């Protein structure tokens, strides 16, 4: 048990009930003023949050980025006024009372659901249920690895998530409950707002399983506590710290506690709060402070409970870091900043050159596996994982596993839990200090689409590798053949979708992806071997998103063939047919649309060609390609789902051939 | 216990071991010939499948569509040779030995993963893990409701799913395990291929939870059985039938059983099988039959075990149906065919007319809720459900809940389990006889994207209602504001995406969606009130996908404004601005792109206008709109994620206004 875990009593004369009521009335005043919001969770969770924040949570409101702070996740993000009230009472400078007043107004930081902003004390964006607790499990993995790697004097903090019934019904929750128990993430604690109520009414409508038992079978410690008793919750939090297992504290609460009209009622979840409700609630609580007013003694007690309690530990931690050997300290601080080690970009450039020279015929999946191998040797905080596809994605080589017994291992066995992986990677990147890499088949990206969206929304640089990217996988058939995924990933704002054509472009795309700081990347790879189409690697051409791979010959360009990934070589073969007929034809490789869209218009026009026939070829649906080919251009690709058969036969079967591409061009000349 | 549940002994002299080995050698021969496939599951599951098919499963290979057949789902679809061998041995005409020989060849029915084809005896397409068992839970719900409604003399069958470790790790599995236990689906049985092995190696790498305990806490009966002992599995199946709870039979098996080189090894999951392996396996089993050869006595025993055992029950069932009162029989048979009752289409047309007359200002979510109410009164087998969004989607009105105690209720409380809902609806529609309707917020469609894809691939007419479709939802903020979803749903082959503009189009779109027989529909609705833009409802204009809502006036059309849903009224306001300046401007409403794409080119050209400026407006990302506006057209919409604030302010903030649309047109005139 760490010395930080000792609960401190509330400051002189201020009862824990008043400290919790301060949350309640900030929440109620804000929700009433906004005429919108969810009162149920902040009212029901006020004591639980008070116990955690004023007695246990390690944080420093004056330094919200303190790497060794405990992480707090409000997984039931609709209860956002709970975290805003907590941050205000804790003294975060970014959360003054004006922000509380501006709850849900356009331009405020007090959004309908909490949005990641570490300056404010908000670790992750939450709202879509289940995401927050899965983020928390990722954070706990990051902490465990960092602690094992840098030592507990530098990294030794807990991860807490406040979770509602909704979070615990979602499938992703069960994936991470199972995995967290398996990995014995002992510094992880879920505080369950067990109020027996959801938006639809009593939980009995839809669940009768023994939730406590469900955690126990997964290897968790389970503690019951009266969720309206700060002492009881605090005592449970102490027990949580003393057990090597992750802990669920089942906090029995009343939804909307303190709001007489709605307390313990379905309507408390998201119902309107009116002025009369405030009058009634104030009378019931004996709360005499006005709207948005926190009595001075209560405010003081909160500051003492949060800042006063934690300050010595913060100072001591700073001293320990300062005393680290210079190289260890530099390594820790670099990883915390999320910077790459020196030499990574250079190594990737060298890899591109080597591949241009060697010109292998291999899958881009294999090229990516080699790069993961390469950078794993250069980036000590790189933590790859491929949910039950370690063999096909080949990205574990030489790395020990992160296990319950050895937290310094770097390969994460996620099990067959893609959704968990996606959400956990968000938590790991949000935590900082580690660089997770997830790998799965492209079709399974749908299983993790909710966290992909959250990574894009949070602007987290999460990189996921997707292999088996088209009908090229062959006999496994249409269930495993992506056709709509390039389009659906391209539809997501702030997601960079890379589909390299060969080993050279793969190295180039990795360089771009690893350099992205404010958004996720999808690295799309083939299962089948692809010829090397790039023989020059002096300049990272993929860094412009699209480029002329081969210009037309024999006069002004008449045709531009646009392609990505495995279809670049189809386009090259089509070009040969057209050039043989005297048609000057350029091939443009487009490994990343999003990057190309950011290029100057003049460059785009130069690459695409003006007044030429444009034909696109991609073994996927057309949606979006009109952006590049217009209404007059041609598209050779998929019109529906794939089929089961050898990959080369499928390209013929679906008409994705050089002849078809050349034919589409001829028809427009 | 039904009289059908008595196990029959294997036919004279043929041991159950040989009956199981017949599966093994068909699988091995096929996988070796295809040089591809997954031997682990068919070899490991041979005895389990033999016990089920020859002793318990109610089916009639000569009438694969028998409505009261038991449903069998191979949830671990990669083990597809197991089901193909089973269907061949059971005597399904569509699965002759030629098909087994053609395993994984292009054009065969023996695809890499099983693809739904009831003629062949394949109930659902499986492969993406977890989907199959969730389908099975949906089937069990359908059965329970039909049995309660039509009586157990007409509907009384079981649903079995063979599941692997992968299926049970996926989140969706936990959603349905919890819900199936809650609903006490006593005719549901999972047979767990408990082989301690996944593609990555031993299950210990990624799971240590007590799987049996996990089912028990959810209210399931759990039985252990030696998975290589047909008698033991058969006895467990008998116990399953005698318990009111759903049952998990944990069948301890060895992956790749009978293939000496790979038995109980990681490589058995999907490893190659060679000619020498066949020799070794034959020697070990004493199997003397040649490749693709089933000894006559074994074949005969299989036919007796399947067809012989079931024939009397089939004949008796036919007689009971024939004896039904004519109206009840007609109702049953109509629902089984998936036809709508008479009058539904007319009622929707009448609703469209009434709305055109009343011209309400209301959300299309409300318009849809009214339609669900209307058709629930006309379609007795309509079973709606909205995972914890019953209030916001308002589609329960007047319907009792389907509960453990009352299986005749029609409203399904899915809990906060969107993925389960999607996969269960696929199972319900695949089962037949019921018409589920799911409703949730559009952002949560990502949680159910894997089953949406499967419904599209299986060509199942599953309708899902998605409310809260844009920034128009306002203060809940970007986590709950879809911007990329219209594009990502439109990317999916065979998915019809409807986004009606008002109450009239809503009724029209429902008519189209309910008439679709071979693909899913997404009904996208606003939360905010929308004015009625259509005042005529004689003809279902939405049935053409897009149509001219208002033609340009004062000369030949110069501008076409294209819009969907809530932005149609923005386009109308922009038209007013342009017409006031003397610019002849048409507004085209496009409630369904997919339907419009199927129209004759001449109609498309007429609607879109030639040689005119085209401007599209949609509160979503642009991806795909170039299909209609080309490179020269304008687009007014979202460029990234939304924000938290009042909906009307957000439309201003993001520049989705009549002035912006008119300005985009002016700039191109």
pLDDT of residue A391: 84
**Residue whose structure tokens are 């062949």:** B120
Chain B, window 85-114: residues with a beta carbon less than 8 angstroms from a chain A beta carbon:
104-108, 111-113
By the 10 Å C-beta count (0-12 exposed, 13-18 middle, 19+ buried), B5 is classed as middle
Q: Contact, B176 vs B424, CB < 8 A?
A: yes
Structure tokens at A381: 């905080």
Task: In whole angstroms, give the CA distance from residue A237 to residue A229.
Answer: 12
Q: Contact, A302 vs A90, CB < 8 A?
A: yes
Helical segments of A5-124, H only: 16-34, 40-44, 46-51, 80-90, 97-101
Q: How far is B56 from chain A (nearest CA, A)?
A: 29
Of the partner residues A218, A478, A492, the one whose CB lies closest to the CB of residue B209: A218
Task: In whole angstroms, give the CA distance from residue B370 to residue B374.
Answer: 6
> CA A347, A350, A356, A358: dihedral to nearest 10 degrees?
-90
> CA A563, A564, A568, A570: dihedral to nearest 10 degrees?
-70
Q: Contact, A121 vs A92, CB < 8 A?
A: yes
Structure tokens at B644: 């938290």
Give the Å distances, CA to CA, from A36 to A32, A189, A261, A274, A626: 7, 30, 17, 10, 41
Catalytic site residue from B175, B418, B508, B511: B418
Task: In whole angstroms, give the CA distance from residue A111 to residue A123.
Answer: 14
Chain A, window 493-552: residues with a beta carbon less than 8 angstroms from a chain B beta carbon:
493-494
pLDDT of residue A3: 39
Q: Contact, A307 vs A87, CB < 8 A?
A: no
Task: In whole angstroms, give the CA distance from residue A382 to residue A494.
Answer: 23
What's the pLDDT band for B171 if we cut at 50, 70, 90? very high
What pLDDT digit, counting tens, does each position of B340-368 carry?
A: 999 999 999 999 999 999 999 999 999 99
What pLDDT digit, counting tens, does each position of A503-559 carry?
A: 999 999 999 999 999 999 999 999 999 999 999 988 999 999 999 999 999 999 999
B210 touches chain A (CB under 8 A): yes
Inter-chain touch B416–A170, beta carbons under 8 Å: yes
CB atoms within 10 A of CB A550: 17
What's the pLDDT band for B1 if we cut at 50, 70, 90? very low
What are the chain A neighbours of B113 within 8 Å (beta carbons)?
A: 476-477, 479-480, 644
B401 touches chain A (CB under 8 A): yes
pLDDT of residue B165: 93
Stretch (H or E) spanning A41: helix A40-44
Helical segments of B224-325, H only: 230-241, 275-285, 296-303, 309-322
What's the pLDDT band for B9 if we cut at 50, 70, 90? low
Task: In whole angstroms, give the CA distance from residue A529 to residue A535.
Answer: 17
Q: What does R_g of chain B's alpha carbons equal in angstroms?
A: 28
Stretch (H or E) spanning A144: helix A131-150
* Portion of chain B with pLDDT greater than 90, in percent: 94
Q: How far is B636 from chain A (nearest CA, A)?
A: 15
Chain B, window 647-666: residues with a beta carbon less than 8 angstroms from a chain A beta carbon:
649-650, 653
Whether B390 shows a pLDDT value over 90: the answer reads no
Verify whether residue B418 is a known catalytic residue. yes
What is the model's pTM? 0.97
Tell me the angle at which helices A449-458 and A418-431 cross, rounded to the nearest 10 degrees: 20
**In chain B, what are the domains?**
3-317 (3.40.50.970), 344-524 (3.40.50.970), 543-666 (3.40.50.920)
Nearest Cα neighbor of B54 from B26, B81, B20, B25 is B20
Residue B216 DSSP symbol:
H
A611 touches chain B (CB under 8 A): no
Q: Contact, B130 vs B173, CB < 8 A?
A: yes
Whether B393 shows a pLDDT value over 90: the answer reads no
Whether A232 shows a pLDDT value over 60: the answer reads yes
Q: How far is B142 from chain A (nearest CA, A)?
A: 17
Inter-chain touch B104–A644, beta carbons under 8 Å: yes
The average pLDDT across A142-161 equals 98
Strands A435-441 and A463-467: parallel
What are the chain B neighbours of A623 within 8 Å (beta carbons)?
A: 487, 490-491, 623-624, 627
Q: Contact, A255 vs A263, CB < 8 A?
A: yes
Task: In whole angstroms, give the CA distance from residue B445 to residue B592.
Answer: 18
Q: How far is A387 from chain B (nearest CA, A)?
A: 8
ipTM: 0.96
* Portion of chain B with pLDDT greater than 70, in percent: 98
What pLDDT digit, counting tens, does each position of A167-179 carry?
A: 999 999 999 999 9
Structure tokens at A200: 């639809």
Which of A244, A624, A640 to substitute to test the interface with B, most B CBs within 10 Å? A624
Q: Contact, B364 vs B503, CB < 8 A?
A: yes
The average pLDDT across B515-524 equals 97
Of the partner residues B106, B179, B623, the one whose CB lies closest to the CB of residue A623: B623
Of the partner residues A78, A182, A621, the one whose CB lies closest to the CB of residue B493: A621
Structure tokens at A114: 């909490």
Chain A, window 157-176: residues with a beta carbon less than 8 angstroms from a chain B beta carbon:
165-166, 169-175
Q: Which residues of A21-33 are buried (b: 16+ CB within 10 A; e: fewer)?
A: bbbbbbbbbbbbb
Catalytic site residue from A115, A263, A390, A418: A418
Q: How far is CA B610 from the centre of its chain?
A: 40
In B, minimum Cα distance to A203 occurs at B415
By three-state DSSP, how is residue A145 classified? Answer: helix
Give the Å distances, CA to CA, from A89 to A39, A49, A82, A296, B630: 18, 11, 11, 11, 54
Q: Contact, B57 vs B268, CB < 8 A?
A: no
In A, minimum Cα distance to B632 occurs at A630
Helical segments of A492-539, H only: 503-515
B598 touches chain A (CB under 8 A): no
For chain A, how far is it from start to end, CA to CA, in angstroms? 77
What are the chain A neighbours of B441 within 8 Å (beta carbons)?
A: none
């Amino acid at each position: 048990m760490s010395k930080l875990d000792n609960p401190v009593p509330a400051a002189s004369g201020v009862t824990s009930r008043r400290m919790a009521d301060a949350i309640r009335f900030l929440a109620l005043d804000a929700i009433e003023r906004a005429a919108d919001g969810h009162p149920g969770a902040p009212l029901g969770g006020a004591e639980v949050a008070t116990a955690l924040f004023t007695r246990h949570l390690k944080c420093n409101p004056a330094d919200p980025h303190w790497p060794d702070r405990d992480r707090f996740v409000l997984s039931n993000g609709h209860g956002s006024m709970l975290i805003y009230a907590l941050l205000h009472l804790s003294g975060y400078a970014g959360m003054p009372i004006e922000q509380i007043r501006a709850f849900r107004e356009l331009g405020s930081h007090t959004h309908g659901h909490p949005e990641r902003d570490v300056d404010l004390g908000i670790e992750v964006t939450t709202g879509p249920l289940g995401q927050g607790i899965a983020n928390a499990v990722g954070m706990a993995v990051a902490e465990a690895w960092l602690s094992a790697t840098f030592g507990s004097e530098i990294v030794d903090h807990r991860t807490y998530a406040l979770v509602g019934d909704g979070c615990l019904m979602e499938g992703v929750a069960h994936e991470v409950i199972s995995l967290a128990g398996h990995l014995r993430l002992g510094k992880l604690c879920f505080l369950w707002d067990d109020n027996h109520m959801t938006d639809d009414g009593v939980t009995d409508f839809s669940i009768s399983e023994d939730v406590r038992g469900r955690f126990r079978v997964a290897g968790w410690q389970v503690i019951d506590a009266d969720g309206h008793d700060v002492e009881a919750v605090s005592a449970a939090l102490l027990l949580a710290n003393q057990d090597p297992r992750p802990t669920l504290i089942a906090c029995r609460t009343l939804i909307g506690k303190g709001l007489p009209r709605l307390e313990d009622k379905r309507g408390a979840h998201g119902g309107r709060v009116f002025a009369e409700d405030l009058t009634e609630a104030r009378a019931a609580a004996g709360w005499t402070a006005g709207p948005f007013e926190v009595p001075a003694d209560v405010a003081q007690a909160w500051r003492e409970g949060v800042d006063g309690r934690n300050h010595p530990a913060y100072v001591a931690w700073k001293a320990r870091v300062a005393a680290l050997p210079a190289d260890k300290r530099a390594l820790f601080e670099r990883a915390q900043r999320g910077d790459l080690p020196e030499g990574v970009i250079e190594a990737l450039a060298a890899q591109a050159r080597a591949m241009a020279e060697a010109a292998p015929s291999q899958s881009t999946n294999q090229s990516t596996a080699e790069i993961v191998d390469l950078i794993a040797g250069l980036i000590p905080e790189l933590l790859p994982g491929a949910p039950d596809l370690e063999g096909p994605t080949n990205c574990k080589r030489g790395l020990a596993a992160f296990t319950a017994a050895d937290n310094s291992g770097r390969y994460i066995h996620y099990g067959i839990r893609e959704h968990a992986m996606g959400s956990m990677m968000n938590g790991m990147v949000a935590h900082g200090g580690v660089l997770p890499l997830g790998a799965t088949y492209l079709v399974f990206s749908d299983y993790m689409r909710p966290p992909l969206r959250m990574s894009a929304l949070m602007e987290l640089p999460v990189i996921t590798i997707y292999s088996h990217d088209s009908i090229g996988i062959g006999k496994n058939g249409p269930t495993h053949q992506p056709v709509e995924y390039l389009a659906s990933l391209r539809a997501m704002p702030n997601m960079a979708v890379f589909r390299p054509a060969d080993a050279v472009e793969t190295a180039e795309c990795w360089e771009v992806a690893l350099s992205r700081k404010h958004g996720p990347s999808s690295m799309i790879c083939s299962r089948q071997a692809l010829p090397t189409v790039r023989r020059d690697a002096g300049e990272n051409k993929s860094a412009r998103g699209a480029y002329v791979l081969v210009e037309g010959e024999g006069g002004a360009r008449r045709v531009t063939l646009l392609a990505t990934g495995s279809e670049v070589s189809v386009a090259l073969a089509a070009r040969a047919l057209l050039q043989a007929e005297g048609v000057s034809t350029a091939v443009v490789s487009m490994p990343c649309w999003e990057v190309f869209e950011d290029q100057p218009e003049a460059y785009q026009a130069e690459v695409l060609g003006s007044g030429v026939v444009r034909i696109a070829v991609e073994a996927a649906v057309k949606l979006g390609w009109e952006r590049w080919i217009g209404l007059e251009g041609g598209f050779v690709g998929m019109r529906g789902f794939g089929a089961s058969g050898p990959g080369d036969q499928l390209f013929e079967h679906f008409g994705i051939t050089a002849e078809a591409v050349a034919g589409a061009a001829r028809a427009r000349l």
